[in-house]
Structure 1
Amino acid sequence: MRCTKHRRQTTGACNWCGKQLCPYCIGKKEGGKLYCDKCAMRLSTVKRAKVPKPEKPKKTSRARAQPVIEEKPTQQKKVFSVDEEGYLILEQ
């Protein structure tokens, strides 16, 4: 396709209005986004707001359960518990 203003091959389209742009028509480049002169002027008046970071889930205090794991009746009963620092303790 050819630019209607400069009669050159177009390199892309304006991300806002969709107008085909040649290298001379590009008003603003933002990364891979192209904008024509009119849209670039409109964008310059727009103030961008920062997106807030998502909140981290709050840690809830739960009572630590001491699970009892029973195996075959012929074996001894094994008790596992977790200490205050989070280590697994094997009690027999």
Structure 2
Amino acid sequence: FLLHGLEIWLYALLFSKLGAVPEFREAVYFSTSSYGSIGYGDSAIAGQWKLLGAIEGINGSILLGWSVAFFVTVMARMLPPLTRR
């Protein structure tokens, strides 16, 4: 969870430093919605940086899926096996 948050904030910092999003608060919001692949559309990014926002969305989808797979694997090892009758 912390690593996902860190990545979101790093993307927000990048968007802010590039001037892709006017305010840092808006950059964090845009980054969070892009990372979660929600992309509400109520937050705008400068035209020349839209591809970077899409890349963040793909990156977020992959990493969130990887985290879910890891969590399921850990839980499967911790829980007792189901027995069939």
TM-score bracket for the superposition, by shorter chain length: under 0.3
The TM-score with structure 1 as length reference comes to 0.26
Could you say which structure has the higher strand fraction?
A: 1
Could you say which structure has the higher helix fraction?
A: 2
The TM-score with structure 2 as length reference comes to 0.27
- The structure number with the bigger radius of gyration is 1
Higher relative contact order (CA 8 A, sep 6+): 2
